[in-house]
Amino acid sequence: MSYNLNLKEFIQGELEKRGVLLRRFHRARSEIHMVLKALDRSGSKLIFDIGANSGQFANECFKAGYEGRIVSVEPQTKAHAELVQRAKSQPNWTVAPRMCIGDRNGKAVIHISPNSVSSSLLAVTQKSIKGNEDTNYVGEESVDISTLDDVAAHYLNDDERMFLKIDTQGYERHVLDGAPRVLGQVAAVYVEMSLAVLYEGGATFIDLYSRLERSGFRCIGLFQGFTDFNTFEMLQVNGLFIRINS
């Protein structure tokens, strides 16, 4: 080891060899803190967490200091059970019955992937599988599907503003299609957006960006999501939108 190399540089170099990168924490560069800042700015005290999986996003919000309510919705049996257990640690965290949110009420079939966050009501494409083999499907489950208009009525007061988080693997457009009434009460949106076609018939970045602009929102942040590290192609981003004049 060179004696001209200080201890900090040496430790960082050794960690980088093992795939670990240390960065100084800064709230202005923290995705979850930017989300919470937008939430505070929007005046909303309720997060509607659609596609909650086992509660990773909600848990991050509470750990970062969020004190409002969160309603989480998740369709997968295993993930929903884990979500229910996790939510017991927070009195302001409510888990809705196991269901999908979409553009209709009825029954649906969700395709299950080994990487459960990639499960979807839509068929997965080879583009996604090449990016990560664990996005392929290994099973199916039947699940109820409901519109956001109908579900939100059980949790949202008439004069209340809502922060809408959508992570539904290509089904984002269907979620918005099922919310013509409640969308007027949405103050901000945090949504996963695909830069490539990862699910057949799924919404793309351009689709969602244009749709939200037309609905009175403007984009205030984009964050790196699913990336194919074989080609170094970014396949998804998380978009943060706030209602104009908020």
Q: Residues of the chain with pLDDT > 70: what percent?
A: 88
Contacts 24+ apart (CB under 8 A), 176-184: 176/211, 176/215, 177/102, 177/103, 178/101, 178/102, 178/103, 178/104, 178/146, 178/147, 178/148, 178/149, 179/147, 179/148, 179/149, 179/152, 180/149, 181/149, 182/148, 182/149, 182/152, 182/153, 182/156, 183/215
pLDDT for 69-103, tens place per residue? 999 999 999 999 999 999 999 999 999 999 999 99
Mean pLDDT (the chain) is 91
Residue 1 lies in a domain: no
Does residue 51 form part of some domain?
A: yes
pLDDT at 3 over 50: no
Does position 21 have pLDDT exceeding 50, yes or no?
no
Query: What percentage of the chain has pLDDT greater than the value 90?
Result: 85
Look at residue 102 and tell me if it is in a domain: yes
Stretch (H or E) spanning 88: none
Asked whether residue 11 is domain-assigned, the answer is no
pLDDT for 7 equals 55
Residue 232 belongs to a domain: yes
Establish if 2 belongs to a structural domain: no
pLDDT digits (tens, 9 = 90+) for 150-199: 999 999 998 899 999 999 999 999 999 999 999 999 999 999 999 999 99
Residue type, 138: V
Q: Please state the domain count of the chain.
A: 1
**What average pLDDT does range 232-237 have in this prediction?**
96
Q: Collapsing DSSP states into helix, strand and coil, what is residue 29?
A: helix
Taking only the tens place, the pLDDT of each residue in 108-140 is 999 999 999 999 999 999 999 999 999 999 999
Structure confidence at residue 88 (pLDDT): 97
pLDDT band, very low/low/confident/very high, at 1 (cuts 50, 70, 90): very low
Residue 60 has pLDDT above 50, yes or no: yes
The residue segments making up the domain with residue 136 are 26-243
Predicted pLDDT at 2: 38
Q: What CATH number did the domain enclosing 113 receive?
A: 3.40.50.150
